[in-house]
Structure 1
Amino acid sequence: MPRRTATMLASTLLLFALLCAGVFIKVPYSEMSPGPTVNTLGEANGEAVLQINGRKTYPTTGHLNMTTVRVTGADYDMNLLEAVYGWVSDDNIVVPHENLYPNGKTEEQSTQENAEEFSQSQESAKVAALRQLGIPVTARVAVFSVVKGSPAEGRLHAGDVVKAVDGTPVKAPADVAKLVTRHKAGEKVEFTVVPAKEAAAAEKAGKEPAGSEKVVLTTAAAEGDGHAIVGIRAETDHTFPFGIDIKLADVGGPSAGLMFALGIVDKLTPHDLTGGKFVAGTGTIDDQGKVGPIGGIQMKTIGARAAGARYFLTPADNCASASRQTPEGLTLVKVGTIDDAVKSLEKIGKGDTAALPRCDAKPDAKQDAK
């Protein structure tokens, strides 16, 4: 066999062997890619994303798109060939599997956690939006979840409003744990609560929950230091003066909070905030309207530009990362609060874009969060 033919055959066989190895060798990585975007001012799955009842709303134009990131599942085994392709691709990011699913977190656990964060982000978006508009919102402490097998199981329920512990009024979720841990494990603790059913009816009517009852529990010992617990997670709940529903399925995590809040503000504002422009964005939001960083920022900017966005509202702490690879034709607008975002939208709507606070590529002390 001629040397040249032998060399080509050997090279072909080697390449084939490498490709086979790439397919069969599993690597501990996961992949992130741009996900779909949804206009919070529009519809999804045939119904309005934001539904407001009992308050006058105003016509809106343009887009205020929330953005998402697709990730491979917890049980997905990436092979070496897929990892290499992801590393060289501009539209995908390959990250250590541990970054997305730490401590062996399962698909079910991740989905549940994302659902809880998504629910909380909706609540905070409503609160931040109404406070931005000067509309009063009443806050209260409520049971968010009950641990299975704990002293509270069957006695307290998600949605119960906690008025007091041992007769001491509670004003914040942290007060509940503080008052419970004054006890030793095995001691009794008294909760004064408004049952979830009565609390839900009061919220629907726009009134403060009433009709409390007392529930006495015997504390248990926490793993580790053995401090007293009853097995509940308390969170801040709110009574809104009118109905606000966010209808969006198959989305999880907290990063849509900012865009939900802005959509609510736009619908309740007489003048059109976007001026018909296509704006997308991301960012967590708390009850006070502070915007927090998120993960996968570069995937979200790619997805936003592909959908048609020209402006992208970017959490201040994500600016440096987002600026390293900004899609052509997309302006990154830096925001730290909902007020920053509203003012930037007004500038965009009026065409006063030269005055927008833009992201730059300077090194940031903080990097992407969850």
Structure 2
Amino acid sequence: MSEPAGIAPLTPSAVREQHARPRFPDIRPRRLRRIGWVGLAAAGAASLALAFVPSPYVVEVPGPTFDTLGETDAGPLISIEGVETYPTEGELRLLTVSLFGNPERPLTWVDVAEAYLDPSDSIIPMDAAFPPDVSVQDSNEAGRIEMQNSQAAAIAAALLHEGYPVDSDVRVAGVIDGSPAEGVLREDDRILRVNGDTAYDVWSIRESIAAVDGATSFEIERDGEPLTVEVTPLVEGDQRLVGIYPANEFEFPFEVDIQLPNVGGPSAGMMFALGIVDELTPGALTAGTQWAGTGTISALGDVGGIGGIVQKMHGAVDAGATHFLAPADNCGEVVGHVPEGLTVYAVETLDDAIAAVEAVAMNADTSGLPVCGAAPAS
């Protein structure tokens, strides 16, 4: 019987040759290589896609710095009229922190990874910077009011330090919707006492709220009538929040104007106060030294802790400062993170800050000055 056309007959020699030759010699290695490259490409594509997925973090970085003895685009940062002032020199530089990312424009994981590699950046949860129940607009408004309070308290602290009389008042600038104070306190209420303590400024109000567990008693004046109300604060971490924006209102014996556009928050208070003291006293407080610092301040001169201390120390070095004033409350974050070339002093009051600046200016022994964790060089 003849073989079908196109098919060679199967002979013994052909069978031996077929068995001697490897079966499917190239197909399996090529297939494995192809699968490997496809898997690698898929993993790369997945990683690339994940890298651009929005992250639940924001990043704090060193922000712009401003010399309280100098000028901004709006003119002199501090202007004093109606009293004699004196020339200054050197720098008393306030510091800011810039925040990258917000709920409306979240950072990608690539952005977060880059920040992780930079010692001057800090990565924090989105909810810590922007509480879910507070809009970005409300957060910015709170920062604006805090800056106004900070400036007013700084002026009061500086003038009281120099012996000038200052009359004080505190009013409710706003009430947060849905907060414990809603329906209890109203905008423009004048706050007289909190838990029995005289409400001298915003600082004193916060201290009084924090000192008492349970309901907080407010003695207020509303439309000229005295009234006592109670608010049960919302506890978040170590904070007791009633949900109001209190605002300082002081009467000063002469005009002090602070111009710092587009910066919010309370942390520049101490440096504002130092700049005012320097302008009101003969001689240059710094003797030409470049200082930077940060800290909230009360009208009575108490210095409080702030956020972003690490970023602010790096910002100080970038701006050329050699000496730094840090709130004693922030010492735990300062130790181990001081950039090279910066000497850091811990302060609790405006008096502490002035003492440190004057000691360095006079080349005095600084070994007795408070520091964070270790003694500074003399």
Query: What amino acid is aligned across from residue 103 of structure 1 in structure 2?
Result: P
Query: What amino acid is aligned across from residue 369 of structure 2 in structure 1?
Result: P
Find the counterpart in structure 2 of residue 39 from structure 1: 67
Question: What is the deviation of 1:236?
Answer: 4.8
* Matched-pair contact (CA < 8 Å) for 1:47–1:247: yes
Find the counterpart in structure 2 of residue 265 from structure 1: 277
Inter-partner Cα distance in structure 1 for 2:170 and 2:117: 49
Find the counterpart in structure 1 of residue 138 from structure 2: 109
Inter-partner Cα distance in structure 2 for 1:93 and 1:147: 29
Question: What is the deviation of 1:359?
Answer: 3.0
Query: What amino acid is aligned across from residue 324 of structure 1 in structure 2?
Result: G
Inter-partner Cα distance in structure 2 for 1:83 and 1:28: 10
Find the counterpart in structure 1 of residue 165 from structure 2: 136
Inter-partner Cα distance in structure 2 for 1:147 and 1:325: 36
Match among 93, 97, 111 for residue 69 of structure 1:
97
Larger gyration radius, structure 1 or structure 2:
2
Partner secondary structure for residue 328 of structure 1:
coil
Match among 148, 172, 179 for residue 199 of structure 2:
172
Inter-partner Cα distance in structure 2 for 1:126 and 1:83: 39
CA distance change for structure 1 residues 325 and 6 in 2, over 3 Å: closer, same or farther?
A: farther
Query: What amino acid is aligned across from residue 97 of structure 2 in structure 1?
Result: V
Q: How many residues align?
A: 317
1:278 equivalent in alignment to 2:317: no
Which structure 1 segments of 5+ residues have no match?
A: 165-169, 181-190, 194-213, 225-230, 363-370
Match among 326, 330, 335 for residue 314 of structure 1:
326
Partner secondary structure for residue 50 of structure 2:
helix
1:326 equivalent in alignment to 2:338: yes
1:26 equivalent in alignment to 2:54: yes
Inter-partner Cα distance in structure 1 for 2:198 and 2:370: 39
Inter-partner Cα distance in structure 1 for 2:185 and 2:266: 28
* Matched-pair contact (CA < 8 Å) for 2:80–2:257: yes
* Matched-pair contact (CA < 8 Å) for 2:345–2:372: no
Inter-partner Cα distance in structure 2 for 1:33 and 1:55: 39
Task: Give 1:276-355 correspondences, 5 Å limit.
Answer: 276-352=288-364, 354-355=366-367
Question: What is the deviation of 1:333?
Answer: 1.1
CA distance change for structure 1 residues 331 and 7 in 2, over 3 Å: closer, same or farther?
A: farther
Q: Deviations over 1:318-361 (max 9, x none)?
A: 12312221111011111110000001010121223643625334
Inter-partner Cα distance in structure 2 for 1:358 and 1:74: 40
Match among 40, 51, 55 for residue 83 of structure 2:
55
Inter-partner Cα distance in structure 1 for 2:109 and 2:348: 39
Q: What percentage of residue pairs aligned between the two structures are identical?
A: 35
CA distance change for structure 1 residues 337 and 12 in 2, over 3 Å: closer, same or farther?
A: same
CA distance change for structure 1 residues 216 and 283 in 2, over 3 Å: closer, same or farther?
A: closer
* Matched-pair contact (CA < 8 Å) for 2:360–2:366: no
Question: What is the deviation of 1:61?
Answer: 0.3
* Matched-pair contact (CA < 8 Å) for 2:184–2:231: no
Inter-partner Cα distance in structure 2 for 1:161 and 1:102: 28
Task: Give 1:208-247 correspondences, 5 Å limit.
Answer: 214=224, 236-247=248-259
* Matched-pair contact (CA < 8 Å) for 2:219–2:229: no
1:123 equivalent in alignment to 2:157: no
* Matched-pair contact (CA < 8 Å) for 2:78–2:258: yes
CA distance change for structure 1 residues 17 and 358 in 2, over 3 Å: closer, same or farther?
A: farther
Question: What is the deviation of 1:24?
Answer: 3.3
* Matched-pair contact (CA < 8 Å) for 1:323–1:332: no
Partner secondary structure for residue 329 of structure 1:
coil
State the TM-score, normalizing by the size of structure 2.
0.73
